[in-house]
Amino acid sequence: MSYFLLLIVLLLIGMPISISLLVVGLLYMFLTGQVDLIVAAQRIATGLDSASLLAIPFFLLAGNLMNMTGITNKIFNLASILVGHIRGGLGHVNVVGSMIFAGMSGSAVADAAGLGAIEMKAMVDEGFDLDFSAAITAASSTIAPIIPPSISGTIYALAAGVSIGGVFLAGVLPGILMGITMMVMVYFISKKRDYPVRPRGTMRQFFKALIEALPALMAPLLMLGGILAGVFTATEAGVVGSLYALILGFVNKELKLRDLPGVLLDTLKTAGDTLFIIGVTALIGWILTLEQVPMRMSQWIATIAPTPGLFLLLLNLILLLLGCFMASSPVIVMCTPIVLPVALMMGIDPIHLGIIIVLNLMIGLITPPVGVCLYAVSAVAKMPVMRVAKAVIPFYVPLLICLLITTYWPDFVLFLPRLFGLA
């Protein structure tokens, strides 16, 4: 308990998350003196000695490259023809655009900053309020890590030791549900504020937009299809996705060879911290097992939340709170080893648990004070973060409805993974 309090203090005084964990781990081993400290170095080094972990930088790279292929405009056009004529026009286009983009990239920030910039400009030009445009852009960006591929899903799958393909598939239906519920919200707000609609497109325009956006639509089929058909592993799918984006970028003449080192370095920097946290967490996980923390945790939770329903409610509340203050990947890496054994004991499917964890933390991306998507949108829209945060509030309603459905209807989440024999 005292170590846990120390960790909280270190985190609050601004020590990097990875180093805070390292301090607690090393101090524990030093003070208990039961084992040689060399085990710490060994655990951290071997914690990263796994080929599956390469999926994290590879999927990040694929997402970063997809953003540079110049295909975002075409996604926007297709979404516009599909749903632009519904009341709230570009608001719906924003959501559907994010859903299509989610299939190419697993990163919410990439969606908010890349596609978001195009969407917000178009919305303001057509007479939407900037607040509303920023809010729907931020809210819809949270779909990206739910619809596969997903960086957060990959990190969870690796931390929990479940199939990455299974977690990816489990995200499909909740992701679509998020889109639909957000569109309902857009519809009601737009009706009240009398936001404009776009003229209905012709069949010809539809097919033209569809063909132009086809490379974007193909990306998820290529990556997910390849994994499910057993052609390549999830790690390799990240490389295939990157290569696909690279070819697309070169063909569209949007990507130059000299951009490549910069993208590689940026990707590595984004992934590096999470990877170090994963390494250090391997040490912490070892200590937790030594101290029988998961077992004691299970007993404790069994007394305060004896049913799976109550346990999941408690889990949701804790994760939503953590998501307000922390980035998603460290929370996934730190919480999974503690929560998973309890969930398994209660008969909760690990893949279902993964989607619950990821969805909670995605809501955390648009909650202040720490919400990377709020910051990304505020930077693009040039408006204060707290103004974006205030405008986003109505969209918590659809997101929380989705969270409830996802949490308490496992059959809905697990339908696709079961269909493919992965759950």
Partner 1 sequence: MRLARMLKKTYYWLLVAIFLVMLVSTGLQVIFRYFLGYPLGWTEELSKIMFIWAAFLTVGALTMEDQLMKIEVLVERLPAGLANILNIVVKFCSGVFLLWLAVLGVRLLDLTKYQVSTALQIPYWLIYLSLPLGMIIAGGVMFAQSFAAIKTKR
Q: Shortest Cβ distance from residue 280 to partner 1 (Å)?
A: 9
Q: Shortest Cβ distance from residue 33 to partner 1 (Å)?
A: 15
Q: Shortest Cβ distance from residue 387 to partner 1 (Å)?
A: 18
Q: Report the residue number, 55 or 288, with the smaller CB distance to partner 1.
A: 55
Bond prior to 215 in cis (omega within 30° of 0)? no
Q: Shortest Cβ distance from residue 268 to partner 1 (Å)?
A: 5
Q: Report the residue number, 247 or 345, with the smaller CB distance to partner 1.
A: 247
Q: Report the residue number, 40 or 399, with the smaller CB distance to partner 1.
A: 40
Q: Shortest Cβ distance from residue 66 to partner 1 (Å)?
A: 15
Short-list 35, 7, 26, CA closest to 283: 26
Q: Report the residue number, 120 or 271, with the smaller CB distance to partner 1.
A: 271
Q: Shortest Cβ distance from residue 151 to partner 1 (Å)?
A: 14
Q: Report the residue number, 95 or 277, with the smaller CB distance to partner 1.
A: 277
- Phi then psi for residue 236, to 5 deg, are -65, -30
Is-contact 374 366, C-beta < 8 A? yes
Q: Report the residue number, 219 or 353, with the smaller CB distance to partner 1.
A: 219
Is-contact 57 154, C-beta < 8 A? no
Q: What is the DSSP string of 159-207?
A: HHT--HHHHHHHHHHHHHHHHHHHHHHHHHHHHHHT---PPPPPHHHHH
Q: Report the residue number, 184 or 265, with the smaller CB distance to partner 1.
A: 265
Rg (CA), the chain: 22
**Helices 72-83 and 116-125 meet at what angle, rounded to 10?**
50
Q: Within 13 Å, how many C-alpha atoms sit on residue 136's CB side?
A: 35
Q: Shortest Cβ distance from residue 152 to partner 1 (Å)?
A: 14
| Footprint on this chain of partner 1 (rule: CB under 8 A) | 11-19, 22-23, 26, 37-38, 40-42, 44-45, 48-51, 53-54, 57-58, 61, 231-232, 235-236, 239-240, 242-243, 261, 264-265, 267-269, 271-273, 275-277, 279, 325-327, 330, 369-370
The tokens of 350 are what?
């690990």
Q: How far apart are the first and last CA of the chain?
A: 35
CB atoms inside a 10 Å sphere around CB 258: 7
